[in-house]
């Protein structure tokens, strides 16, 4: 599996990973702000949402069980098999490190998204890794954050990808020294500059030449458009 790894220890909220206007945007907030993380969770989430044309918040309603469960929004949460455990009672995702190196789980989205954000409670100053899978290429991009020091903190982590990148899945990894962490309000969306992906044409009948041409033209137009505020 190909992947890109970006080390972001002590990442400042809304950090730009490139100097152009279409860089990946990173956001982090904490109930105990620091010089590296100056925003609160609500401030970081608001700044992240301001970069989106649309978004949906998964409150985990309907998600119940352990190991694997699906919320009413359609997100599927599942353990990775590394020894850690997750469960939900329809309120949040509760993780137990269970002597594994980190609490790790996958989130599969029902539709492609361009941005991901979530709240975390009580990561005890551990690391927080986000591995995002490109829906088109399958290439994984890894973001490594550091939680702010101390116990009982609530944090927000958010990513807005470049306009041409859409995500189909997320792997979350938390190295909470205390071993128990919870996640909530997983939010997915599309950035204000995101280019609409071309529609699938695999189900179009071969004789429908005009239909294929129309779809091709529509796809070209879609790739050329950018959403604005």
Whole-number percent of the chain with pLDDT over 70: 76
Whether 91 has a pLDDT exceeding 80, the answer reads: yes
Average pLDDT over residues 17-36: 80
Q: Is the pLDDT of residue 124 over 80?
A: yes
- Residue pair 209/201 in contact by the 8 Å Cβ criterion: no
Q: What is the pLDDT of residues 171-228, one digit of tens each?
A: 999 999 999 999 999 999 999 999 987 544 333 333 333 343 343 334 333 333 334 3
- Give residues with Cβ within 8 angstroms of 156, minimum separation 6: 27, 28, 29, 30, 41, 42, 44, 45, 48, 117, 118, 119, 120
What mean pLDDT, rounded, does the chain reach?
Answer: 82
pLDDT, position 23: 81
How far apart are the C-alpha atoms of 119 and 58, rounded to whole Å?
11
pLDDT digits (tens, 9 = 90+) for 141-153: 999 999 999 999 9
Cα–Cα separations (whole angstroms), residue 169 to 28, 84, 106, 107 = 20, 19, 7, 6
Q: Which residue has the higher pLDDT, 229 or 123?
A: 123
Mean pLDDT of 157-162: 96
pLDDT at 197: 72
Q: How far apart are the first and last CA of the chain?
A: 36
**Please, what sign has the CA dihedral across residues 38, 28, 2, 102?**
positive
Q: pLDDT tens digit string along 60-76? A: 998 999 999 999 999 99
Question: CA-CA distance, 80 to 67, in Å (whole number)?
Answer: 9
pLDDT tens, position by position, 5-23: 444 434 443 443 433 446 8
> What is the arithmetic mean of pLDDT over 47-54?
98
Pairing between strand 64-66 and 85-89?
antiparallel
pLDDT value of position 22: 62
Backbone torsions φ then ψ of 169, nearest 5 degrees:
-155, 160
């Amino acid at each position: 599996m190909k992947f890109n790894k970006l080390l972001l220890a002590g990442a400042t909220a809304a950090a730009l990973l490139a100097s152009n206007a279409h860089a990946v945007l990173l956001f982090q907030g904490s109930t105990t702000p620091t010089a590296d993380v100056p925003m609160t969770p609500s401030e970081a989430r608001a700044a992240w949402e301001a970069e989106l044309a649309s978004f949906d918040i998964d409150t985990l309603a309907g998600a119940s069980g352990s190991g694997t469960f699906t919320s009413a929004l359609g997100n599927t949460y599942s353990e990775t098999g590394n020894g850690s455990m997750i469960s939900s009672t329809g309120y949040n995702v509760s993780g137990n490190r269970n002597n594994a190196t980190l609490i790790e789980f996958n989130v599969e989205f029902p539709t492609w998204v361009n941005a991901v954000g979530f709240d975390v409670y009580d990561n005890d100053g551990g690391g927080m890794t986000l591995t995002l899978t490109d829906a088109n290429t399958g290439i994984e991009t890894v973001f490594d954050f550091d939680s702010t020091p101390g116990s009982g903190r609530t944090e927000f982590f958010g990513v807005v990808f470049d306009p041409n990148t859409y995500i189909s899945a997320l792997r979350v990894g938390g190295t909470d020294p205390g071993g128990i962490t919870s996640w909530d309000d997983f939010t997915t969306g599309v950035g204000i500059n995101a280019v609409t992906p071309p529609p699938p044409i695999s189900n179009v009948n071969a004789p429908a030449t005009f239909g294929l041409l129309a779809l091709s033209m529509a796809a070209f137009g879609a790739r050329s458009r950018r959403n604005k505020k």
